[in-house]
Amino acid sequence: MPLAFPSEKPPVITVAELNRRARELLEGEFRMLWVAGEISNVKLAPSGHWYFGLKDAAASVDCAMFQSRARFLDFKPVNGQQVEVRARVTLYEPRGSYQLVVDEMRKAGLGALYEAFEKLKARLDAEGLFAAERKRPLPEYPRAIGIVTSPAAAALRDVLTTLARRAPMVPVILYPAPVQGEGAGARIAAAIAVANARAECDVLVVCRGGGSLEDLWAFNEEVVARAIAASAIPVVSGVGHETDFTIADFAADLRAPTPTAAAAAASPDRDSLCEMVAQMQRRLSRDLERLLETSAQRLDRAARRLLTPDERIARHREALDRLARRMRQCAHAQLRLHRAHFDARRAALGHLDPTRVLARGYAIVRDADGAIRRSSEGLVAGQPLDIAFSEGGAEVSVIRKRTAS
């Protein structure tokens, strides 16, 4: 900010205020930018910060790279080394010294590689090679795990150690390929093709350890990206350190920050599986125990309802007794009813009983054939008749017939 002088007499400011304003001017004018130069007077502080000068034929500038960013360097800065730094311009207020605070450093000449990286990345991305919908999920329980890397790579030892710890039951198949140097990209792509042709594994780990941009360049080649995209087997990319990104990372189904992390992502965790099985066993044991308890309760209830033969006979006997009593009661009722009906009918028949009529002084007359004679018609003198009285009877003969008057 420019200093303002409201009156002819300029204000007096402190050195600290001057340096603060100078720092704000520098930081406001210059954003993050790349600066090329030669390293000089390089020093590594106990704190992990790097201090050095950056110079060319005409000038130099002091630089500071703090430990939080220096830990991501893949090379050790040395005097005389040509580098390119991404930095912000500032001023160290206590000394009033102008300096660069470095965020990133690379060896000189890598700018062309970065440019090639970005161009290829943009072109393949435009083709849809990195599209999220192309990414496939990794198998949860692979039959075998394939590894594409160099047999001499330290990353292979890390991957094998991780797999041996996490999933010793899963076979591991190595598809060897150089991971650095001329022709390495084509060899890596060929190894991926071989793994697909053999179809021996369910997931592929393409990996190598950390290194400079040049060291990792094989994984930035188009042939490798297309081989990964064309793979029928899901691919996990584990190239370099956490801050390293390659074209292979974007093409892979999953990008892991390190080879060890790639091995972990591709494999089931035996300890977790064992714990899951143990939990299932405990749950099954509890369920089985509850089932047995429920069955035992049902059995107890059934046992209480179950009778011995003597008890069953006794219950049947009681039931028969009850039936017999009901039958007797029914029979007596029916007998009384029939008796009442009989008495009523007998009383009705009594009125028709001829003996009762005879008792009132009447008699029954039968002819010799036993037929009852109800009139004198047809009788002749001397004809024998049989007369029945209320008590006894007599045999008579007709003396004279009378007719009704």
Domain membership of residue 198 (yes or no) is yes
Q: Are residues 147 and 244 in the same domain?
A: yes
**Bridge partner list, 90:** 99
SS (H, E, C) the chain: CCCCCCCCCCCCCCHHHHHHHHHHHHHHHCCCEEEEEEEEEEEECCCCCEEEEEECCCCEEEEEECHHHHCCCCCCCCCCCEEEEEEEEEEECCCCEEEEEEEEEEECCHHHHHHHHHHHHHHHHHCCCCCHHHCCCCCCCCCCEEEEECCCCHHHHHHHHHHHHHCCCCCEEEEECCCCCCCHHHHHHHHHHHHHHHCCCCEEEEEECCCCCCCCHHHHCHHHHHHHHHCCCCEEEEECCCCCCCHHHHHCCEECCCHHHHHHHHCCCHHHHHHHHHHHHHHHHHHHHHHHHHHHHHHHHHHHHCCCHHHHHHHHHHHHHHHHHHHHHHHHHHHHHHHHHHHHHHHHHHCCCHHHHHHCCCCEEECCCCCECCCCCCCCCCCEEEEECCCCEEEEECCCCCCCC
Q: Are residues 101 and 145 in the same domain?
A: no
Dist CA 240 CA 259 (whole Å): 7
Domain membership of residue 331 (yes or no) is no
Closest by Cα among 95, 97, 266, 251 to 188? 251
Average pLDDT on 125-141 reads: 93
Point out the domain boundary residue: 236, 268, 300.
268
Q: Residue 283's pLDDT is what?
A: 92
Please give the biggest Cα pair distance in the chain.
198
Percent residues over pLDDT 90 in the chain? 44
Dist CA 110 CA 84 (whole Å): 8
Q: Residue 364's pLDDT is what?
A: 86
Point out the domain boundary residue: 268, 298, 313.
268
Domain membership of residue 308 (yes or no) is no
**What is the CATH number for 42?**
2.40.50.140
The alpha carbon torsion through 23, 25, 29, 31 (nearest 10 deg) reads 20
Q: Residue 69's pLDDT is what?
A: 92
Least confident of 111-115, 171-175, 282-286, 367-371: 111-115
Q: Is the pLDDT of residue 28 over 70?
A: yes
Q: Are residues 150 and 67 in the same domain?
A: no
**What is the CATH number for 178?**
3.40.50.10550
Q: Are residues 222 and 104 in the same domain?
A: no
Residue with tokens 């017999």: 324
Q: Are residues 158 and 247 in the same domain?
A: yes
Q: Is the pLDDT of residue 380 over 90?
A: no
Domain membership of residue 190 (yes or no) is yes
What is the extent of the structural domain holding 238? 130-268
Q: Give the gyration radius of the chain's Cα atoms.
A: 62
Q: Residue 187's pLDDT is what?
A: 96
Point out the domain boundary residue: 219, 246, 268.
268
Average pLDDT on 372-389 reads: 85
Closest by Cα among 249, 242, 262, 274 to 155? 262
Q: Tell me the angle at which helices 184-198 and 222-230 cross, rounded to the nearest 10 degrees.
A: 10
Average pLDDT on 114-133 reads: 90
Strongest mean pLDDT among 2-11, 26-35, 105-114: 26-35
Q: Are residues 59 and 150 in the same domain?
A: no
| Single-letter code of the amino acid located at 183 | G
Residue 142 in contact with residue 115, Cβ under 8 Å?
no
Average pLDDT on 59-76 reads: 90
Q: Residue 117's pLDDT is what?
A: 86
Predicted confidence band of residue 64 (pLDDT cuts 50, 70, 90): very high
Dist CA 170 CA 268 (whole Å): 9
Q: Are residues 137 and 101 in the same domain?
A: no
| Single-letter code of the amino acid located at 59 | A
Contacts of 284 (CB under 8 A, 6+ apart): none
Q: Which of residues 100 and 402 earns the better pLDDT score?
A: 100
Strongest mean pLDDT among 187-201, 211-225, 263-277, 322-336: 187-201
Q: Are residues 198 and 257 in the same domain?
A: yes
Dist CA 54 CA 36 (whole Å): 8
Q: Are residues 99 and 136 in the same domain?
A: no
Whole-number mean pLDDT of the chain?
Answer: 88
Q: Are residues 104 and 141 in the same domain?
A: no
Predicted confidence band of residue 405 (pLDDT cuts 50, 70, 90): low
Percent residues over pLDDT 70 in the chain? 94
Average pLDDT on 353-360 reads: 69
Q: Is the pLDDT of residue 387 over 70?
A: yes
Q: Residue 139's pLDDT is what?
A: 93
Q: Which of residues 354 and 67 earns the better pLDDT score?
A: 67
State the total domains in the chain.
3
Closest by Cα among 4, 14, 1, 15 to 97? 15
Domain membership of residue 367 (yes or no) is yes
Q: Are residues 86 and 141 in the same domain?
A: no
Residue 386 in contact with residue 365, Cβ under 8 Å?
yes
Average pLDDT on 315-321 reads: 87
Domain membership of residue 70 (yes or no) is yes
The CB density around residue 38, as the number of other CB atoms within 10 Å, is: 17
- pLDDT tens digit sequence for 192-225: 999 999 999 999 999 998 877 788 889 999 999 9
Predicted confidence band of residue 103 (pLDDT cuts 50, 70, 90): very high
Domain membership of residue 236 (yes or no) is yes
| Single-letter code of the amino acid located at 402 | R
Average pLDDT on 368-396 reads: 85
Domain membership of residue 33 (yes or no) is yes
- pLDDT tens digit sequence for 134-187: 999 999 999 999 999 999 988 999 999 999 999 999 999 999 999 998 899 999
Average pLDDT on 340-349 reads: 82
Q: Residue 3's pLDDT is what?
A: 53
Q: Are residues 97 and 20 in the same domain?
A: yes
Least confident of 54-58, 80-84, 174-178, 299-303: 299-303
Dist CA 396 CA 113 (whole Å): 168
- pLDDT tens digit sequence for 282-313: 999 999 989 988 888 888 888 777 777 888 88
